[in-house]
Structure 1
């Protein structure tokens, strides 16, 4: 196993994880058509505030919204990147939609990974605790973790407290910060920091081995501009009409 980058996973595995994330970037940035742009309803009330308060012209406004959608998609892929990295450490594996994100091969550890500490509402937190408690009860030697890659502090502690009016606690259910979880699985004190340090070089090395993969220019703005020219509506009015033609009064934009 080659280890020029990190001591706890092979170079091949690290570059593979980087490659998977790179493909997610390429997919997210691929041609954003008007249809794709409208997949989730556009909040044109917010866009109106953005335009006025941030002094944005309509073209910049739409480009900013397209980039926001792309960024949201990529953020979801960052959590997957950490799962894949951690799943490459000896004696651990990823869940592959099995109900957990990471487990020890001997069933002594189960974990659910969230990239940020604040990504769950109370119902999601309750569901996650119940799931981790189920694994702890099923596998009597297992410790189960809610992992927060980006946490407010560095910690590893029992997860107990009141969620939705109910008290929850379990002797083997924990919450843990990303740095501590990397340390726990790798046995390396600064494992997450070491990943951070090598990423620039590893990414550059990965990219140097790739053929140039050009992405299509986003066509949403061109498509919306073309239809707004025909309808004689502003770009923002065009987006509003095309998203909410069935709302009371919005037909006045015709």
Structure 2
């Protein structure tokens, strides 16, 4: 398989991942229209105030809200895109029945993806799931991969309350950019993927 764009997945795999995401965008756009926008019991009085007081054309405001709804519905598809890209790297796979988004085939890595802020009441359960996996597989590193932040980081994850702090030496919170480096073993790989996607989109659309 050719590797003209990045050297850890084939061009065919990268194209398939982009094609799958494109289908998700088309589906999301078809599900959210101006007609469905009003059918969703939008507060038209508030819409009028928003347009007037924010000095925005009402049509532009409606279009902006439609795009926001599309963006909200596409969020899971972005997660699937990352799963497919990372799961296509040699030695890794999409988690599927394991309950994780991506895992190493030899069970030395397990990851869950964070695509939006996680309410604090759910963080304990997510940490516990990763910690249990780290206990079950003594060579495994377990990650909560944060795609919501722009900064590049990796840190040991600790759940802290006023009374206590709980952590595990092989459970981490990590940025999406750094996680790509962990899985591929290459520096600045996230930016190379972004650049490759940009080139492919220009050639396709």
TM > 0.5 fold call: yes
Which structure 1 segments of 5+ residues have no match? 208-254
Shift of 1:203: 2.0
Q: Identify if the C-alpha distance between structure 1 residues 165 and 28 changes in structure 2 by more than 3 Å, giving closer, same or farther.
A: farther
Residue of structure 1 in register with 2:102 after alignment: 102
Residue of structure 1 in register with 2:200 after alignment: 202
- Name the SS of the counterpart of 1:176 in structure 2: strand
Shift of 1:36: 4.2
Q: Identify if the C-alpha distance between structure 1 residues 69 and 4 changes in structure 2 by more than 3 Å, giving closer, same or farther.
A: same
The 8 Å contact of residues 92 and 105 in structure 2, kept in 1 or not, is answered as: yes
Distance 1:122 1:49 in 2: 34
Q: Identify if the C-alpha distance between structure 1 residues 62 and 89 changes in structure 2 by more than 3 Å, giving closer, same or farther.
A: same
Distance 1:41 1:131 in 2: 38
Distance 1:11 1:32 in 2: 32
Question: What CA RMSD, in Å, does the superposition of the two structures yield over aligned residues?
Answer: 2.5
Which structure 2 segments of 5+ residues have no match? none
- Name the SS of the counterpart of 2:115 in structure 1: strand
Distance 1:95 1:35 in 2: 38
Residue of structure 2 in register with 1:12 after alignment: 12
Residue of structure 1 in register with 2:126 after alignment: 128
Residue of structure 2 in register with 1:169 after alignment: 167
Shift of 1:114: 1.7
Shift of 1:98: 3.6
The answer as to 2:75 corresponding to 1:75 is yes
Residue of structure 2 in register with 1:88 after alignment: 88
Higher relative CO (CA 8 A, sep ≥ 6), structure 1 or 2? 1
| TM-score, reference length from structure 1 | 0.72
The 8 Å contact of residues 32 and 69 in structure 2, kept in 1 or not, is answered as: no
Q: Identify if the C-alpha distance between structure 1 residues 166 and 13 changes in structure 2 by more than 3 Å, giving closer, same or farther.
A: farther
How many residues matched? 205
